[in-house]
Structure 1
Amino acid sequence: MSRSRRSFSPDLLDKLRAMTPQETLDSLGIYWKRDPDFVPVKNARTVRLYVSIDGGVIELLATGPKWYDTRMDKGGGGAIDLAMHLFRLDFVQAVKRLSDTVSV
C-alpha cells in the first residue's frame, strides 16, 4: 500500500524560517510587548519580548529570526520553531497553522 506524501512549498518554508518572532506572534494573533528598558549584552539588535499565552507570560529574547525562551532555557529560529515551542506542535502541525496566517 503506497501512501502519498504531500510536502510544503520551499517558498513557504523559506518565508517561515526567515520570520522574526515579532512577525510570527503578530501573524498568530498573540499579544506581546517589547521591554523598553532592556539593555542587550551581546548583540545590540537583541530585544526582550513578553508574550501572553495560555494565561501566562513567556519572556523571549529575539535577534532577527532567532529567539530564546529565558525561563524554559530553549531557543530556535524562525516561525516554525516558535510555533512548535509555544503550542507544543510537531513540524507539520506548526507549518499548517502558520500557512493559514501568511501569504507567499
Structure 2
Amino acid sequence: MKRRIFALALGLGFSAFFAPRLALAEDHLTEAISYTEEAIDHGKRGHADVLVTHAEAALKHAEAAEKAMNNPHIKEGIMQLKASIVEGKKENATTAIGHAIEALTHLEAAQK
C-alpha cells in the first residue's frame, strides 16, 4: 500500500512540475499564431513596417514556446518568421507574406 501511495505522490509531483510549463508553452504558441496572423493581414494591406512589428512579436513568443517544448514545427516557424522580418524590412511585403504564411502553417501544426 505504501508503494502505491508513493507512486501516486511521485506521479502527481511530476504532473505538477511539468503541466504549468506545457500550458505556458501553449500560451506562447497561441500568441505566436495570433501575431503571425496579424502580420499576414497587415502585409496584405501593403503595410510592410507593421508586418515586421507583428512578426517580431510572433518571433518572441515562438522562441519562448520552443524553449518550453522542443518541436521541429516551431523551429521551422521561427526560421520562417525571421525570413519574413528580413524581407519586411526591405519593404518586400509579398515575399514577407509568403514567409509569414509558411511560419503560420508550421506554428499551427505544432499546436496539434
Instruction: Give TM-score, length-normalised by structure 1.
Output: 0.27
Q: Which has the larger radius of gyration?
A: 2
Q: Which has more strand, going by share of residues? A: 1
Instruction: Give TM-score, length-normalised by structure 2.
Output: 0.25
Q: Which has more helix, going by share of residues? A: 2
